[in-house]
Structure 1
Amino acid sequence: MKNKFDLIVIGAGSAGTSVARSCAAEGWKVGIVEELKYGGTCMLRGCDPKKMFLAVTEGIDAIERMSDKGLTTIEPTVNWKKMSEFKNSFIEPMPERVENSLKRLGIEEFHGKARFNDDGSLQVGDDVLESEYFHIATGASPIQLGIEGEEHVKTSTDFLDLNNTPERIVFIGGGFISFEFAQISKRGGADQVTILQRGEKVLNQFDADLVDMQVEKSREMGIDIQLNSVIQKIEKKEHEYTITYNSPNGLSHVVCDLIIHGAGRGANIQDLNLEAINVATTRKGVVVNEFQRSISNPKVFSAGDAADTSKPNLTPVAGIEAKIVAKNLIAKEDKYKTTYPAIPSVVYTLPPIAKVGLTEKDVEQRKDEVKVKFKKTHQWYSSVRVNEKYSAFKTIVDKKTNKILGAHLLGPGAEEQVNVITMAINQGLTVEELKAIVFAYPSYSSDIKYMFD
């Protein structure tokens, strides 16, 4: 059955549904295709469910920190099944809500795997979809590891679908997923938690001094972090797995019940047959210009994790790019360029690590022009109050203008402090102007003015 549209959106996450809604509101005939449940990774399989797990384990963390400061309680434990039910109470209604919101705008929905035909149409099951424009917003998926026994490795989605406490769990890779889920697992009652990192550093996108402190914290919790560890093979015997890897100490082994992929994600475009419509791609996604349009096929746009842009795969980035796609589609010309403000990023460990703006590495060639301030803050009131000994910051300021160039934070409240500093950077505030703001006291935000000279 053939269907003709003004726009077909492939992917029903945040980078797809917002474009579909904007164009439908202008009277366009819009179709949207999704292989999985409507709502996307962040809502259903990433940011939101992860933080619901985190909310439960925050209770464990708080009790551990305050147990000798006057808080008397029976030793707490996590009921993983109930924690999963709590997460599902938010997740399960969302796909229907998303679908209903699209239907109200007259957007036609298709469920299934999308693949382009040689004539430029899109095949979804028995449906053949023709359109003036296509928007690819299929997100990202775990990269191939290329190791023997890779079929035994589960994904972050599988982790979030667990109903029982993982007893012995290994995370491959030292990024966001591994550190966040490793801490959730350990606080959730896992006996053995291991992170195997191929390189000599973990959380490479974040400040090295703060990461070192987070590694120390995680190891203190009982998480085994193995660096320079290259996996050779994974073997299954009955209900357990043996991972063989090369380490600085030679050939090593770890036995576990569950292995989770945390070694990076790539654009989820492999099965679209984009060659059929002459869409240039890289491992990072669809190659687009500054207007989010494919450089090789003007009928195609892309945004979010499926697009090859210079920015990291974050939901706010997808939102910015999708807005530009919609504006240029509606204008029917390349009128609006994608520009990015300073965008904060957070690793939701406990305590969290946050960053915004330039890093110390970014400014190493202009050290005479900037002020870099690094300080551990475990003796500051905000950390003492909650008995958190792992807290610090690093700020970067332009000496000439006294404007804030970057900030890197570890500690309680870091995920909110970074938002305030992000606003300061995007508004072009000087240090003096930021310090002139009166914050509620005592609060995490009131600490910010002491982070700058």
Structure 2
Amino acid sequence: MQKFDLLVIGAGPGGYVAAIRAAQLGMKVAIAEREHLGGICLNWGCIPTKSLLKSAAVLDAIKHAKDYGVEVSAPKASLASMVEKSREAAAKLGQGVKSLLKKNKVEIIEGEAKLLGNSKVSVGANTYEAKNIIIATGARARVIPGLEFDGSKILSYKEAMIQKDLPKSIAIIGAGAIGIEFASFYNSLGSKVTLIEMQDKILFNEDEEIATIAHKSFEKKGITIITEAKVKGVKKGAQLTLELDTKKGPSSLQVEKVIVAAGVVANTENLGLDKTKVKVVDGQIKVDEYLQTDEKGVFAIGDVISAPWLAHKASHEGILCVEFMAGHKVKPIDKTNIPGCIYSDPQVASVGLTEAKARSLGKEIKVGKFPFFANGKAIASGYTEGLVKTIFDAKTGELLGAHMVGPYVSEMINTYVLAKTSELTEQEIIHTIFPHPTLSEMLHESVLDAYGKAIHI
């Protein structure tokens, strides 16, 4: 029986990163994966969707080329070619993960792993022993009863990103990050898109002001948004007929296809957890602040344990728990320091408390805002819609939250993440010199505005 210091179950962005860091720390490491190295994120999530969204952005740029003094003939989208490009990106990165694991001498075990208890794991017909085990099995798309995926008309995120022909009409159920990104993509290509959300607003977890700006922008681009609505049933025919229960009463909607983007479910089944003391609470594995389960030597990270369901959270958790098991002094994760990004057009990015949450906690706050239309680089680039918003504790100057909507905000949010993680106050940010002309100057101006010092508005 092969023995390891660490055996990781699942080779997604949490698992493979944990395995590599453990190897760097001198551990003998193996990683078991039943399907794809890189997990959902690399193969069916973060990476291929960003490739598709980039293709859509290029198409949009060409459509608006005249606004920049460039004359071009009418562009034509090839969905099949966009999909092919996205699959190539995923495959390339999958090979990259394999190379990184081999470089770090991590043994790759193909197959479905199960815990046997007493530090043992089976993969197929083989049994392995490991001093430590990390469960990093991720999550899958949530299925809505009556809207089960059929791969043809009712689609999960997987089928939604490999369509060969562009549907004339499409309904997307769920207006969180996944739903919004697919709505943006298919709208850019010319599909008639309807977003259906059961909450009273889209992007329910985002700052309300930012979500409202995004809502208006999506509607301006031609996306129909129906909030406070539930799908009560579906009739299949040449088209799908969705029966809706809305705040205005019953209604129906006919579309060619439906994408269900109603959240995820942790992959806790068939892991042999019943042979251990590992507890599952509300469908997710229970861990402490150091990612330990109730079974000695067994840890869990990523989507299988808790929201937010983000690749960078899983990666950070992987490193944290590996360094903890190696005896290093580590700092538990503060979830308010985890950034979230949505790569639609416009993009949305945030970290920390929303304005409403800060007020509900009884905090006295200062709020600063700076619009894209007042920034020189944004004006020169044609980016006139968007907002940067910062929230500070009025008494201490602590940065409580930052929220943005507009082009490239996913690339700018980390300035605030670094400031928040480093516990900087408004004074350090105010006295930081931002380069001109850049979009990043809006970050500075928003902080200045919170303290009545904004220069350019």
Q: TM-score, normalised by structure 1?
A: 0.90
* Counterpart check, 1:226 vs 2:226: yes
Query: What is the rounded CA distance, in whole Å, between the counterparts of 2:15 and 2:363 in structure 1?
Result: 44
Query: What is the rounded CA distance, in whole Å, between the counterparts of 1:320 and 1:118 in structure 2?
Result: 26
Q: Secondary structure at the match of 2:437?
A: coil
Q: Against the structure 1 CA distance between its residues 22 and 347, is the aligned structure 2 distance closer, same or farther, given a 3 Å change threshold?
A: closer
Show the counterpart of 2:82.
Answer: 83
In the alignment, is the contact (CA less than 8 A) between 1:65 and 1:386 conserved in 2? Answer: no
Moved over 6 A (4+): none
Q: Secondary structure at the match of 1:162?
A: coil
Query: What is the rounded CA distance, in whole Å, between the counterparts of 2:329 and 2:363 in structure 1?
Result: 40
Query: What is the rounded CA distance, in whole Å, between the counterparts of 2:23 and 2:436 in structure 1?
Result: 47
In the alignment, is the contact (CA less than 8 A) between 2:42 and 2:48 conserved in 1? Answer: yes
Amino acid at match of 1:339: I
Deviations 1:256-307 (A, max 9, x none): 332222111122222323122221012452111111110x211210111112
Aligned residues: 444
Query: What is the rounded CA distance, in whole Å, between the counterparts of 1:205 and 1:367 in structure 2?
Result: 19
* Counterpart check, 1:313 vs 2:309: yes
Q: 1:339 aligns with which of 320, 333, 339?
A: 333
* Counterpart check, 1:250 vs 2:244: no
Deviations 1:2-35 (A, max 9, x none): 5443322110012111222233345544322112
In the alignment, is the contact (CA less than 8 A) between 2:170 and 2:193 conserved in 1? Answer: yes
Show the counterpart of 1:370.
Answer: 365
In the alignment, is the contact (CA less than 8 A) between 2:42 and 2:94 conserved in 1? Answer: no
Amino acid at match of 1:429: L
Query: What is the rounded CA distance, in whole Å, between the counterparts of 1:186 and 1:445 in structure 2?
Result: 28
Q: Against the structure 1 CA distance between its residues 189 and 8, is the aligned structure 2 distance closer, same or farther, given a 3 Å change threshold?
A: same
Amino acid at match of 1:329: M
In the alignment, is the contact (CA less than 8 A) between 1:65 and 1:388 conserved in 2? Answer: no
Q: TM-score, normalised by structure 2?
A: 0.89
Q: Secondary structure at the match of 2:356?
A: coil
Q: Against the structure 1 CA distance between its residues 277 and 120, is the aligned structure 2 distance closer, same or farther, given a 3 Å change threshold?
A: farther
Deviations 1:211-235 (A, max 9, x none): 1111111112121111111112233
Show the counterpart of 2:416.
Answer: 421
Deviations 1:368-391 (A, max 9, x none): 721123454434434433334431
Query: What is the rounded CA distance, in whole Å, between the counterparts of 2:214 and 2:190 in structure 1?
Result: 20
Amino acid at match of 2:196: L
Q: Secondary structure at the match of 2:14?
A: helix
Show the counterpart of 1:156.
Answer: 157
In the alignment, is the contact (CA less than 8 A) between 1:120 and 1:277 conserved in 2? Answer: no
Query: What is the rounded CA distance, in whole Å, between the counterparts of 1:314 and 1:290 in structure 2?
Result: 17
Give the 5 Å matches for 1:159-198.
159-190=160-191, 192-198=192-198
- Cα deviation for residue 187 of structure 1 reads 0.7
Query: What is the rounded CA distance, in whole Å, between the counterparts of 2:324 and 2:384 in structure 1?
Result: 49
Query: What is the rounded CA distance, in whole Å, between the counterparts of 1:118 and 1:291 in structure 2?
Result: 21
Amino acid at match of 2:79: W
Q: Secondary structure at the match of 2:265?
A: strand
Show the counterpart of 1:298.
Answer: 296
Amino acid at match of 1:156: Y
Give the 5 Å matches for 1:126-165.
126-145=125-144, 147-152=145-150, 153-165=154-166
Q: Which runs of 5+ in 2 are unaligned?
A: 452-457
Query: What is the rounded CA distance, in whole Å, between the counterparts of 1:219 and 1:93 in structure 2?
Result: 36
Q: Secondary structure at the match of 1:186?
A: helix
Q: Against the structure 1 CA distance between its residues 244 and 384, is the aligned structure 2 distance closer, same or farther, given a 3 Å change threshold?
A: same
Amino acid at match of 1:212: T
Q: 1:431 aligns with which of 426, 429, 432?
A: 426
Deviations 1:52-106 (A, max 9, x none): 1121211233345553453332232321122122222321133333224323444
* Counterpart check, 1:324 vs 2:323: no
* Counterpart check, 1:352 vs 2:347: yes
Show the counterpart of 1:241.
Answer: 240
Moved more, 111-120 or 274-283: 111-120
Q: Which runs of 5+ in 1 are unaligned?
A: none
Amino acid at match of 1:304: G
Q: Secondary structure at the match of 2:254?
A: strand
Amino acid at match of 1:222: G
Show the counterpart of 1:395.
Answer: 390
Q: Against the structure 1 CA distance between its residues 193 and 24, is the aligned structure 2 distance closer, same or farther, given a 3 Å change threshold?
A: same
Query: What is the rounded CA distance, in whole Å, between the counterparts of 1:336 and 1:216 in structure 2?
Result: 43
Query: What is the rounded CA distance, in whole Å, between the counterparts of 2:205 and 2:360 in structure 1?
Result: 19
Q: Secondary structure at the match of 1:442?
A: coil
Deviations 1:160-186 (A, max 9, x none): 222332332221111001111111111
In the alignment, is the contact (CA less than 8 A) between 1:172 and 1:195 conserved in 2? Answer: yes
Deviations 1:409-431 (A, max 9, x none): 11223223322222222333333
Deviations 1:332-380 (A, max 9, x none): xx96452337222111111211112221122214667211234544344
Show the counterpart of 1:289.
Answer: 288
In the alignment, is the contact (CA less than 8 A) between 1:9 and 1:31 conserved in 2? Answer: yes
Amino acid at match of 1:370: I
